Structure 1
Amino acid sequence: MASPSRARQELAQEAARIMLDDGIRDFGLAKRKAAEHLGVDARHNMPGNLEIQDAAVERSRLFASPASRAAYRGRLEAALVVMERLEHLEPRLVGPLLQGLVESQPLINLHAFAETVEEVILEMGDRGIHCETGERRYRSRQGREQRIPFLAFRGPDDTDVELTVFPLDGLRQAPPSPVDGRPMQRATRADVERMLAEAGAEEAAATAE
């Protein structure tokens, strides 16, 4: 019988595999499916969301094909272009792309900050960029639900971009992460430039093997 720590690790790896292979975003569902597949009691010794996320990133990089590595680098490049063009909105990269997940999911998630979403919509229109609009629900650290508008549009190289527009003071207080409840990680343009350099180096190393 596997030790509790080993069993927990196996559950994390299986849940990560399920999330990557099946495109599942719900950690709870992935945990239950993993427990069912491994024939263990889902009520005991379950891994945390962060453990599963780390396992997913590791797995995605371990089994990444040359095409998926190139696509990951391409999405970082596209994100950087959008961030440069919208620099006055102080955009931040968030989500799976920031976490380093090498996957087929092409969505680029960005946070931006403005007095009103309407001014951003008008600017996009002036640039000839058609946007779909919607809302995301976030919980503040005080537990209050917030509805934050987002714009969805096509980015460079036909990428999909989702730009969530927070009030100006939202730059100082990131919403809780759905992974661990802590303030969501956000990356600046300089951070993305470093990620892009690292991705290029990893891609070159993988090609040389």
Structure 2
Amino acid sequence: MGRHTRAAKPRGRAAEAAVRQKIVIEAARIMAEDGVRDYQSAKRKAAHRLNLPEDKNWPGNAEIEAALKQHLELFQKDSPAVVRELRANALEAMTLLRDFSPKLVGEVLSGAITRFPEVQLHLAAPAPEDLGLFLDGHGIPYVMEERRLRYNDARTALVPVFRFVAGETGFALYVLSPEAIRELPVSPIDGRPMHRAGIREVEELLGS
């Protein structure tokens, strides 16, 4: 009986690992093909499609992101060209918004793009109205909303976001105060300080 009990545990762990991997693959496919950007939503949809119960022991977001990149490499051969075009569009917008110290973040920077990718920029401005006036002055129609950023000390902050579409590319401009932009929010993927790229870094990405 003792030997039987000890042997069952590895089988249980193997089964659990297999379930996690199924969720990883399906969640990555959902993000790539359905345009879902939120990792938690993608995992819920994956579990539902696989007829699995919601579980606290779901795979981490970093596992999903790695699988998403692999999915793009295997099934969307044009994704490198799409990422490059999006980064070029981001650089054009950043050049226009140079006075707001723009930083590229998110999927266009990482290269793990969803079906409907969005260029996300962090901008510095004393007040959100400053960006609104700038966009108005350039004839750029936008909608304004708020999104929540999370920080290392468990703080969260609601940040004004200006969203617009240029050509076929969607943009989301997060407006932070000149003081707040010095502090890096944490990534929703791995909980570590978010990666950002300024104009020079994006130019280098495009030159590589």
TM value normalised by structure 2: 0.79
Alignment partner for residue 180 of structure 2, among 164, 167, 170? 170
Deviation at 1:6, TM superposition (A): 5.8
Find the aligned partners of 1:118 and 1:47 in 2 and give their Cα distance.
Answer: 40
Query: Are the structure 2 counterparts of residues 7 and 82 from structure 1 closer, same or farther at C-alpha, using a change threshold of 3 Å?
Result: same
Alignment partner for residue 75 of structure 1, among 79, 86, 90? 86
Greater Rg by CA:
2
Is residue 179 from structure 1 mapped to residue 194 from structure 2 by the alignment? Answer: no
Query: Are the structure 2 counterparts of residues 150 and 43 from structure 1 closer, same or farther at C-alpha, using a change threshold of 3 Å?
Result: closer
Is residue 86 from structure 1 mapped to residue 97 from structure 2 by the alignment? Answer: yes
Deviations 1:155-177, CA, capped at 9 Å, x for gaps:
3x442211111010122212222
Percent identity, please. Answer: 37
Deviation at 1:111, TM superposition (A): 0.6
Q: Could you list the runs of 5+ residues in structure 2 that have no partner in the other structure? A: 1-10
Secondary structure of the corresponding residue to residue 186 of structure 1: coil
Contact 2:107 2:117 in 1 (8 A): no
Opposite residue 131 of structure 2, the aligned amino acid is: V
Contact 1:60 1:103 in 2 (8 A): no
Within a 5 Å distance, the mapping from 1:27-176 to structure 2 comes to 27-35=39-47, 43=55, 46-66=58-78, 68-155=79-166, 157-176=167-186
Deviation at 1:140, TM superposition (A): 3.4
Contact 2:148 2:158 in 1 (8 A): yes
Deviation at 1:37, TM superposition (A): 5.1
Secondary structure of the corresponding residue to residue 168 of structure 1: coil
Q: For structure 1, which segment, 105-114 or 13-22, has the greater mean C-alpha deviation from structure 2 after superposition?
A: 13-22
Deviation at 1:133, TM superposition (A): 1.6
Q: CA RMSD in A?
A: 2.7
Deviation at 1:75, TM superposition (A): 1.4
Secondary structure of the corresponding residue to residue 46 of structure 1: coil
Counterpart for residue 189 of structure 1: 199
Find the aligned partners of 1:9 and 1:117 in 2 and give their Cα distance.
Answer: 43
Alignment partner for residue 21 of structure 1, among 11, 29, 33? 33
Opposite residue 194 of structure 2, the aligned amino acid is: M
Secondary structure of the corresponding residue to residue 80 of structure 1: helix
State how many pairs are aligned.
Answer: 196
Q: Could you list the runs of 5+ residues in structure 1 that have no partner in the other structure? A: 199-209
Find the aligned partners of 1:195 and 1:118 in 2 and give their Cα distance.
Answer: 31
Query: Are the structure 2 counterparts of residues 19 and 179 from structure 1 closer, same or farther at C-alpha, using a change threshold of 3 Å?
Result: same
Deviation at 1:13, TM superposition (A): 2.2
Query: Are the structure 2 counterparts of residues 103 and 61 from structure 1 closer, same or farther at C-alpha, using a change threshold of 3 Å?
Result: farther
Deviation at 1:54, TM superposition (A): 1.4
Deviations 1:121-141, CA, capped at 9 Å, x for gaps:
112222232232221122333
Query: Are the structure 2 counterparts of residues 34 and 126 from structure 1 closer, same or farther at C-alpha, using a change threshold of 3 Å?
Result: closer
